[in-house]
A and B are shown apart, each in its own frame.
Chain A
Amino acid sequence: MRSMSPPRPLRLTLNDRPVETSCPNERILLDLLREDLNLTGTKRGCDLGTCGCCTVWIDGRATLSCLTLARSTEGHSVTTIEGVSPATGLNPVQKAFVERGATQCGFCTPGFIMTATALLRDHPHPSRSEITEAIAGNLCRCTGYTKIIEAIESAASGDR
């Protein structure tokens, strides 16, 4: 085990704004967001790709910030839960999650919101089984997924 390598400059688009920062080669995106940039909405549940709590978008794709080197985002765009949340109020997916009780302890929730928002952006009217498949990389220990799936369905149909 050795200590850190020197920080190198890093430029990316973060939540639609250009950001210039710096980090060592071995910095993981999740840690860059949470520890260096204080964007703590993205959660660390396992650090190994097995829970989805750390889901962010990279160039619009919902994926795992714990399995991405921060430096891999050089010149790319990263969107976090902070980036999909309006300045006031909630986006339709968030609203549906609240109203349907799709968040209990809430630790998995930012990850689910990122996955679900990307799903509905690409497939405005997913079937129930498409929803189930789409969230199959996000783990929730509280809800049994039932109300999460209901919330995504309701956000999709706009019936809230």
Chain B
Amino acid sequence: MSTADASPKFRLLGGRIPYVEGPLKVTGRAEYTDDIKRPGMLYGGLLRSPWPHARLVSIDVSSARSLPGVYAVLTGEKYPTPFGVLPITHDETAIAVGKARYIGDIIAAVAATDERTAELAMAAIRVEVEPLPEYADPQTGLAPVTEPIHARGLAGTNIQKEVVQHFGDVDAAFAQASHTVRVRGTFAGVTHAFTEPMATIAESTPDGRLTVWSATQVPHYLHRALSEVLGIPMHRIRVIKPEVGGGFGGKSDPLPHEIACAALALETGRPVKIRFDREDVFLTNHGRHPTQNDVRIAADSEGHLSAYDIQAVLDGGAWSSFGTVTTYYNGVLAMGPYRVPNFRYRGRRVYTNKPPSGAMRAHGGTNIRYSVEVALDELAESIGLDPFVLRERNALPPNSTTVNQLRITSTSFRQCLDASRVRSGWADKFRRLPFGEGIGLGCGFYISGSNSPIHFTPKMPQCTVHLKVDMDGGIAVHSMQADIGQGSNTLLAAIVAEVLGVDLDRVHVVRVDSDISPVDIGSYSSRVTFMMGNAARRAAEELLATLLRAASELCGYPVDQLAVERERYVPRHRPEVAVSFMDALHKAMEKVGALTATGAYSSPPMGGTFKGARAGTAPAYSFAAYVAQVRVDAETGEYHVGTIWAAFDCGRPLNRLAVEGQIEGSIHMGLGQLMGETMSYRSTRLMNPSLLEYKIPAPQQMPRVECLLVGQDDPEGPFGAKEAGEGPLVATLPAVANALYDAIGVRFHELPITPDRVVRGIEQRRKEGRPWKGA
């Protein structure tokens, strides 16, 4: 089993492997949480705060409780233990305690025979409040305020987290620079808007156990949070993840409604289901932070970058969620794919009375990447360099370290640049297309699994995979990795089948169930392929070793002379005495019965020793160079992205179908943020909590996407693979923005770039008497 085979030949990996659960999904047979009904099930309702910020003086639930069909009404005091996805920032409660912190905050939970009765009960709850000052603008919260949203805000302000970092000497670098640029970006919040609204079912049984089915990306964090808040040991809680209809980060925090649902189940002794309406999904949010950033870049006359000086203010909304990580990421994820010797960053995340912000696809890397890549486009222009040349001059080489101690092993960034330049016909188009048409380059860099797992005690691997095979020859795979549509079950099955040499249909990935699935910390930070892939490979190799020993006994040839072929193990020079998989299996089972094997993955130690050094460290990084071509209607400001040449380095693509799917889907999502998606607020009030007014791009708006997978094997990735789930998003936005500049000569520093902004930009430029391409 050589892991460093120069040109491995795979039967499955590297091909186009249809998703294993595809047939269930196309027939409507895949089971999502809301498809499940339990005998005697009640329905939960959540009363949400109509106040942005208010002290809860009294909540009178007596008449609600006495309504026929109402089984329980809960308020916050019953389970006041705070929780949160990060152990250091537990500031959420299942139901508000003492204060309501945003319009939509949960202030009571009801269980009733049906949802309508639950609604009637909620209408009967009388809440008396004392309104508190409402904080909509994060800038206000930077200074001390009269009523901080949380007591844990920094020194009487609403600042939840401040990060200050300085490497090298940024001021000296700026003093010596021959060229500097500055971009101040403003980014509206955006949200995941997966199609499946959240849903949870909880059931407590007389044996003292609690079972929770939930649409979650991270069953393990939910498991922990349930235990902490409800005070039930983890071993008496069982978390099951049915099929999940998309997450994109929005189902990665343990969420209050999940815990409230379990609390209602405990209260009533009956199964309880809570399913969200679309408005609930918007109010739960945890989407991308509304952001203001200020990026200054210094370079010499040849375009060698010498310093980044970055500031960011993030609108955190009412809770912390992943916010501490987000605050770091908005600085440190600027540190690739280029070598930048001096770096300074100040990031502040501020609580506001809005739905909480959190992690969304390409978490923390999207907005900063936009500003940096747009700034580089400006820099290239001011130096008189082609944008590709500027990037090439600064590309981080393989096996290098950034100034903030991020360890870069594999990078095929140069190959990405070459591929997108050549395929897009860049040389004939850049600054040569007529007014209104343009082409632009944007590059990307993203973590392939966070090196620092969020879980705390005890120390344990980030991922474990168990295999079990019995006499029937079917291989059951257990792992708590969470397939939410990205195809991780398929990859898991394919890796096992590949290593063992068996057909894919022998392998069955068992639904995530904490009673049987070994811990994996779930689907976020683009960690699954890398970490689960390595764990699965190790488990399968352990099982293979057992099978080969048995085969060797049967055929009389030593293990090191056996080759793995389809469904059999073959002595190199005597194929006629090959041992079938089934024969080897049955031989191996003679003494021990069903075979089991286990594999785990922990990322190697890395990163510096300074405060916050672990933020942004990852066992590998993805790289991207995208070219977008656009056409603008200069009168209406409407624009269409015709093609995106998406050169991406995910190492070795293990399932091309899935990698392309992730790239295409990421581009669609990135275009949404660029073209029209916005969490639109008037003060703290969300104005568009609906899929009608939250403008996810339509199929007609989708460009042609050419996926150029040019990655070379990563030394530590499973079979050479790295992530492809989030990195493909980040390059999309700046590529299109830079193409718009090429088309009409207007820079956009505020997202989304709606047609009215385009028209205003064109008009502004005309007014200033600066014609572009003769128009």
Interface set of A (CB-CB < 8 Å, partner B)? 1, 3-4, 34, 38, 40-48, 50-51, 53, 80-82, 85, 90, 93-94, 97-101, 103-110, 113, 132-133, 135-136, 139-149
Whether B195 lies near A132 (C-beta < 8 A) is no
A141 to B244, CA, bound (A): 13
Whether A107 lies near B702 (C-beta < 8 A) is no
Q: Which residues of B contact A50 (CB under 8 A)?
A: 278, 690-692
Q: A43-B245, A106-B24 are in contact. List 8 more A-B contacts (CB 8 A).
A: A40-B31, A44-B197, A94-B23, A101-B658, A104-B485, A106-B243, A144-B667, A146-B702
Question: Which of B27, B699, B702 contacts A85 (CB under 8 A)?
Answer: B27
Given that A48-B691, A141-B696, A144-B664 are contacting pairs, would A106 and B669 also be in contact in the complex, using a CB cutoff of 8 Å? no
Whether A147 lies near B699 (C-beta < 8 A) is no
Whether B22 lies near A97 (C-beta < 8 A) is yes
A56 to B664, CA, bound (A): 27
Query: Which of A99, A103, A110, A113 gathers the greatest number of chain B CB atoms within 10 Å?
Result: A103
A108 to B244, CA, bound (A): 11
Residue of B nearest to A39 (CB): B28
State the Cβ distance, B396 to closest chain A Cβ, in Å.
29
Q: Which residues of B contact A45 (CB under 8 A)?
A: 195-197, 245, 278, 691
Q: Which residues of B contact A106 (CB under 8 A)?
A: 21-22, 24-26, 30, 243, 245, 485
State the Cβ distance, B711 to closest chain A Cβ, in Å.
19
Leading 6 A-B pairs by shortest Cβ distance: A41-B28, A105-B485, A107-B245, A106-B25, A144-B668, A81-B28
Whether B484 lies near A105 (C-beta < 8 A) is yes
Query: Which of A34, A47, A98, A146 gathers the greatest number of chain B CB atoms within 10 Å?
Result: A146
30 contacting pairs across A/B (C-beta < 8 A):
A34-B35, A41-B28, A43-B28, A53-B195, A85-B26, A94-B23, A94-B27, A98-B19, A98-B22, A98-B26, A101-B660, A104-B19, A104-B486, A104-B665, A105-B194, A105-B485, A106-B25, A107-B246, A135-B699, A141-B193, A141-B669, A143-B661, A143-B664, A143-B665, A144-B666, A145-B668, A145-B699, A146-B660, A147-B664, A148-B699
Question: Which of A34, A44, A97, A139 contacts B696 (CB under 8 A)?
Answer: A139
Chain A at the B interface: SS class: loop
Whether B705 lies near A105 (C-beta < 8 A) is no
Q: Which residues of B contact A53 (CB under 8 A)?
A: 195
Question: Which of A4, A98, A140 contacts B18 (CB under 8 A)?
Answer: A98
Q: Which residues of B contact A100 (CB under 8 A)?
A: 657
Q: Is B34 an interface residue, CB under 8 A from the partner?
A: yes
Q: Which residues of B contact A149 (CB under 8 A)?
A: 699
Whether A90 lies near B668 (C-beta < 8 A) is no
State the Cβ distance, A102 to closest chain B Cβ, in Å.
8
A147 to B667, CA, bound (A): 13
State the Cβ distance, A65 to closest chain B Cβ, in Å.
13
State the Cβ distance, B275 to closest chain A Cβ, in Å.
8
A93 to B26, CA, bound (A): 9
Given that A47-B277, A142-B485 are contacting pairs, would A101 and B196 also be in contact in the complex, using a CB cutoff of 8 Å? no
Whether B26 lies near A103 (C-beta < 8 A) is yes
